[in-house]
């Protein structure tokens, strides 16, 4: 774990007390209560380890008071929709206050259990926007096409997102999606050097489909192994590639 004087904010977004796989809408069961408590405990431990404040943007639930107790001292905003957006939490005026308080923002999903390995790879001093990983390569799910020449760009694992202070101004695009790399590059006009990946191997965002080394989603079974066998992403997208790596290597060579 890297010590740092940087002050961060952990923003947790989504539906709490959720149970089931993708596209299932089951929640607020006895089982989901227990699994959410496990996830929430992991959120608090991680935030405490790095000295982060916690802010929560959540779908309304009958257990709102329980969440207030679990995340005592945190700011919690409940919204009557299933997938609340970061702009429900931060508007243009709010972001100026955030700039004064924090050096970075780290966004995660509400149903995520944080594994120990994230403590090892997480770096509060990152100067780039950091996305979780590139999606797994099965059926070419790791690539998207965009730009004036329809070039290949990474398809992003959208489970978490790190934003350092220099990029707070593009908060309207903070909501992490599979096309985040494209949005930042072609809409926000950032360069590839402004972005990176927390995990430098291929992993789908859904831990039910593919094991991930830094998290899993509670309320659903975790896949038993890495689909891509923890294969490294191209050196071009690594923060500290081996000195012998081909720095011109991109996803087009896969």
In a domain, residue 3? The reply is no
In a domain, residue 1? The reply is no
Q: pLDDT averaged over the chain?
A: 85
In a domain, residue 2? The reply is no
Measured CA to CA, the distance from residue 230 to residue 250 in angstroms comes to 18
CATH of the domain at 187: 3.90.550
pLDDT tens-digit series, residues 127-150: 999 999 999 888 887 888 887 778
Which domain covers residue 208, as residue numbers? 8-253
The residue among 252 and 175 whose pLDDT is bigger is 175
With beta carbons less than 8 A apart as the criterion, state whether 193 and 128 touch.
yes
Task: Summarize the confidence of residues 49-64 as an average pLDDT.
Answer: 92
Q: Is the pTM of this model over 0.75?
A: yes
φ/ψ of 252, rounded to 5, equals -65, -20
Domains identified in the chain, total number: 1
In a domain, residue 23? The reply is yes
In a domain, residue 29? The reply is yes
Take residue 217 and report the two structure tokens written for it.
């989603």
3-class DSSP assignment, residue 231: coil
In a domain, residue 39? The reply is yes
């Amino acid at each position: 774990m890297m010590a740092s004087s940087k002050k961060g904010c952990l923003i947790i977004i989504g539906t709490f007390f959720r149970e089931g796989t993708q596209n299932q809408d089951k929640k607020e069961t006895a089982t989901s209560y227990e699994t959410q408590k496990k996830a929430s405990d992991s959120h608090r431990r991680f935030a405490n380890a790095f000295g982060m404040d916690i802010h929560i943007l959540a779908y309304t639930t009958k257990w709102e008071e329980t969440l207030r107790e679990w995340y005592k001292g945190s700011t919690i905003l409940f919204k009557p929709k299933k997938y609340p957006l970061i702009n429900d939490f931060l508007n243009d005026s709010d972001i100026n206050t955030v700039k004064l308080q924090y050096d970075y923002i780290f966004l995660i999903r509400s149903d995520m259990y944080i594994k120990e390995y994230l403590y090892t790879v997480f770096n509060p001093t990152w100067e780039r926007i950091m996305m979780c990983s590139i999606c797994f390569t099965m059926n070419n799910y790791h690539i998207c096409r965009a730009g004036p020449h329809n070039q290949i760009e990474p398809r992003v694992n959208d489970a978490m997102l790190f934003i350092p202070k220099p990029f707070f101004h593009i908060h309207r695009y903070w909501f992490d999606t599979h096309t985040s790399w494209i949005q930042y590059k072609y809409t926000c006009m950032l360069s590839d050097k402004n972005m990176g990946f927390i995990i430098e191997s291929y992993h789908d965002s859904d831990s039910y489909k593919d094991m991930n080394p830094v998290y899993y989603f509670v309320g659903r079974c975790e896949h038993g192994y890495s689909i891509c066998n923890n294969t490294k992403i191209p050196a071009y997208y690594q923060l500290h590639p081996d000195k012998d790596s081909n720095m011109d290597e991109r996803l087009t060579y896969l």
